[in-house]
Amino acid sequence: MNLKILGGPILAVSILSVLIWPASLEFLLRLVFSEEGSIYPFEEPLVLLAEHLGMVLASSLAACGAGLAAALLSHLSRSASVQKLFSFSTSLMQTVPPVAVLALLIPVAGFGNGPVFLALLFFGVLPVFNGAYGALQTVPEGVRNAARGCGFTGLQILVGIELPLAAPGILAGIRTSLLINIGTATIGATMGAGGLGRPIIAGITQFRYAYVLQGALTAAALALVIDRLFAAMVQDTGKETQARQHGPTHQKNQGANTEVALGKVH
């Protein structure tokens, strides 16, 4: 990645750093509300961010595993029925409102991070599945045929050709899933979970709108960081994919065999 691609993530991280440093955060909040003790007092801003990020990453990792597995099964089965089954199941998970999902999960998982983790898992699967399956389906059939003509096995075609070419679409789906979960995780504070939802809920119940702004701004800045990081990764991966499609076609190692097959198509 060059400096131009990294410019967005660096700026986003700088904004987030201002919001988790107590002195700068207090200064910003007092500019708006001009009152003492504007910062949520029960946890440090960095601790709130770490709790929120940990909850989002853990649930998103599970959602990515489930979504990618479903996409690969649908793709490899070549069956419209299997694809419709997974698409319907993942869409159904995201149809129910987050608060209703949390309420339904309380008898099973209790209060705290447990029900929030499961709710975020349900809401994170669909974007990953749609992104991965759609990207795999856009790989040209001629590329697969060229690879088969070169003696590639089905696994080699999947790992060496289809997944690299589908990488930008897969990353886009994961990016959407993470952004959805960053916002949805704030609702978890109503069920006793940690994270950036705590100052938001406390501010609403106590009419301390500085707390609400603290949680909302930090969550927005975190989403911006994730968005810019994935935008840079997608841009960089897209350039690599173009280079793979139009690069040298006569190298001998297995990694370059993909380029050989693609070179014969192009």
| pLDDT tens per residue across span 119-163 | 899 889 999 999 999 999 998 888 888 888 888 888 888 988 899
Cα separation, 111 vs 192, in Å, equals 6
- What single-letter amino acid sits at 253? N
Q: Which residue has the higher pLDDT, 247 or 9?
A: 9
153 φψ region: left (φ > 0), alpha (ψ -120 to 50), beta (else)? beta
Cβ–Cβ under 8 Å, residues 129 and 71: yes
Closest C-alpha among 183, 250, 194, 261 to residue 222: 183
CATH classification code of 46-199+217-265: 1.10.3720.10
Return the closest-CA partner of residue 96 out of 72, 128, 126.
126
Between 1 and 119, where is the model more confident? 119
Contact between 120 and 181 under an 8 Å Cβ cutoff? The reply is: yes
- pTM of the full structure: 0.82
What is the torsion angle, in degrees rounded to the nearest 10, for the CA atoms of residue 122, residue 137, residue 170 and residue 168?
-160
Asked if 124 contacts 200 with a C-beta cutoff of 8 angstroms, the reply is no
- State residue 145's pLDDT score: 87
Tokens of 182: 């960053």
Q: pLDDT higher for 220 or 87?
A: 220
Least confident of 122-136, 183-197, 221-235, 239-253: 239-253
Higher-scoring residue by pLDDT: 87, 6: 87
**Whole-number pLDDT of residue 1:** 54
| Owner of token pair 């990081």 | 229
pLDDT tens digits for range 231-243: 888 887 766 655 5
